[in-house]
Amino acid sequence: MEEFDYVIVGAGSAGAVLAHRLTEDGKAKVLLVEAGKASHPYSRLPASFGLLIDHPGANWRFLSDPEPGTGNRQIPVPRGKLLGGSSAINGLVFVRGQPLDYDTWAQMGNRGWSYDDVLPLFRRMETYESGSGEHRGTGGPLRVSVVPDQNPLYDALFAAAGHAGFRRNDDYNGRDQEGIAKTQATISRGRRMSTAFTYLKPAMQRPNLKVVTEALTLGVTLDGRRCTGIRYEQGGQVTEVRARREVLLCAGGVSSPQILELSGIGNPELLARHGIAVRHALPAVGENFRDHIAARIIWKVKVPEVSYNHRARGLRLLREVAHYLASGGGFLSLPSAPLVAFLKTRSELASPDIQLHLVPYSVKDPKRRKLQTFPSMTVACYQLRPESLGSIHIRSSDPKAQPAIRFNFLSDPIDRRTMADGFRIMRRIVESPPMDPYRAEEFSPGKEVSTDEEIIAWMRAKSETAYHPIGTCRMGPGPNAVVDERLKVHGIEGLRVADGSIMPTMASGNTNAACIMIGEKAADLVRAA
């Protein structure tokens, strides 16, 4: 049986970071096991977030369970199935979150996770191409840039936000998140900066790192209360490997709880229901699931040239391809939103509670990402810190069966109020006078949707997720958590979880930056052990 010092499960946003950091000094022998493929030809292209949104070769294409609160729909839950994980297919929007997020984690009993504690990690991981300062890094593996795309529609949206009472903020990843801004993205010179490219590619040149792809982890192995390694299947053959020091579970908010439960670690009643022997009772596994529900309003526009529905259709798409090949710019170089805003729905709030994405085009179906046939624009909104809690659990003992994903969206009254208020703010900005030269009629949902009840009913029927699953292996003390502040699984030696699943509450915004930071933090914790 092959042995390694560390075995990492999942080569995503955190796992790739761990593989890079733990092999830097050449002393530790590390195995990185990834269930997906090595890469996809489209992945380095920023527009791949649309091209791979439902691609079986690059995406797990999970589906949620039907729930009455969301119209009994199965909502798509895309997750990356490549080296780099979801950083290889995501919308590339780079958001650290607010100092409040991390100070809250520390206040919940997670020492070492305050904003002042994690800021050095955010700085260490990035090269911010638009400047330096006490809050930004300039020497890290991950290159981050401000969207360079120019469009008179952006200028009008900035002016409209100002008219509506919202200020501009040129660095929302500093200490103050509030305001509207050009998006910071994990893009450099028109190319996607996934963790596969920025962290893992250089690490794979080291002789002390072994990377295995298309290898599905079946579970961790245990000797009493100590984790000794993992079992994985590759090409129909099952292999068991041993970890001399630790196993690091980095499979993400959906798959990390699934692997724990398949290993007999979880709620005893659920495990027994699926015929799995209980190796360690840990009822919090798979609970505390949160995600962002995203509401999108589409407006038609009067000036076709400001909309990529016009500029990227038919023969004009060829011009966009030529633009990208020549300069790395244009439609194919954009993240999922070139403008973002972090706003307060009520003036008495201490910090923003909603995020808006302002997009110069619209799509027919978020799952397929096909452009609408008419010139249009989209503004999307989600609540930064949702209170509604769902769950992710195995639905059988088969490791290849998708888990049961239950969002429980909009179950909390705070969430309903915040989303209804955010919906009205979207309209307030776009209906401001600076948008008069560009804004035509509201296409979806239409002005007939106006009361709180109508807005929430429409969201239940039409809204999708923003693809930010967290919390299912919650960090904290006590029985409602899965890992402690050192990311060690409660009651098990030699096993840590390090990915978005450990977040006790939602980071305020897109979660990829926080997941990469968690990988950096985990590396420090492991090396200090």
Q: In 3D, which of 62, 79, 48, 64 has the Cα closest to residue 499?
A: 79
Q: What percent of the chain has pLDDT over 70?
A: 99
CA–CA distance, 84 with 38 (Å, rounded to integer): 9
Range of the domain at 437: 148-182+293-385+412-462
Question: How does DSSP assign 432-454, residue by residue?
Answer: SGGGTTTEEEEEES-TT--SHHH
pLDDT at position 349 is 97
On the question of pLDDT at 107 being above 90, the answer is yes
On the question of pLDDT at 370 being above 90, the answer is no
116 part of a folded domain? no
Residues with catalytic function: 468
Question: How does DSSP assign 45-75, residue by residue?
Answer: STTHHHHTTT-TTTB--EEPPP-GGGTT---
> If pLDDT is split at 50, 70 and 90, which confidence band does 369 have?
confident
Same domain, 447 and 489: no
Interval 262-285 mean pLDDT:
98
Same domain, 219 and 341: no
Q: Which of 447, 462, 477 is the last residue of a domain?
A: 462
111 part of a folded domain? no
339 part of a folded domain? yes
Same domain, 5 and 61: yes
How many domains are there within the chain?
2
CA–CA distance, 425 with 195 (Å, rounded to integer): 35
310 part of a folded domain? yes
Same domain, 341 and 256: no
Tokens standing for 57?
A: 């070769």
Sequence-distant (6+) residues with CB within 8 A of 89 are 43, 48, 49, 52, 53, 58, 59, 78, 80, 82
Interval 402-415 mean pLDDT:
98
pLDDT at position 128 is 98
CA–CA distance, 404 with 396 (Å, rounded to integer): 9
Same domain, 424 and 360: yes
On the question of pLDDT at 367 being above 90, the answer is no
pLDDT at position 132 is 83
Same domain, 205 and 300: no
pLDDT at position 365 is 77
Interval 155-161 mean pLDDT:
98
Same domain, 397 and 523: yes
Same domain, 35 and 173: no
On the question of pLDDT at 131 being above 90, the answer is no
CA–CA distance, 317 with 309 (Å, rounded to integer): 10
> If pLDDT is split at 50, 70 and 90, which confidence band does 331 have?
very high
Same domain, 372 and 454: yes
CA–CA distance, 191 with 246 (Å, rounded to integer): 34
pLDDT at position 470 is 98
Tokens standing for 291?
A: 């995600």
Tokens standing for 35?
A: 């269930």
Three-state DSSP class for residue 382: strand
DSSP code at position 24: T
pLDDT at position 133 is 85
pLDDT at position 151 is 98
Asked which of 32-41, 311-320, 480-489 is least confident by mean pLDDT, the reply is 311-320
125 part of a folded domain? no
Interval 285-311 mean pLDDT:
97
Domain CATH code at residue 379? 3.30.410.40
416 part of a folded domain? yes
pLDDT at position 275 is 98
Question: Distance from CA of residue 222 to its chain's centroid?
Answer: 30
pLDDT at position 261 is 98
Interval 248-276 mean pLDDT:
98
Crossing angle between the packed helical segments 512-528 and 115-125, to the nearest 10 degrees = 100
Interval 148-161 mean pLDDT:
98
Cα dihedral 240, 221, 477, 255 in deg (nearest 10): 50
Q: What mean pLDDT is reported for the chain? A: 97
CA–CA distance, 179 with 344 (Å, rounded to integer): 9
Same domain, 450 and 494: no
- pTM of the model as a whole: 0.98
Answer with the residue of higher pLDDT: 131 or 221.
221
Same domain, 63 and 33: yes
Three-state DSSP class for residue 299: strand
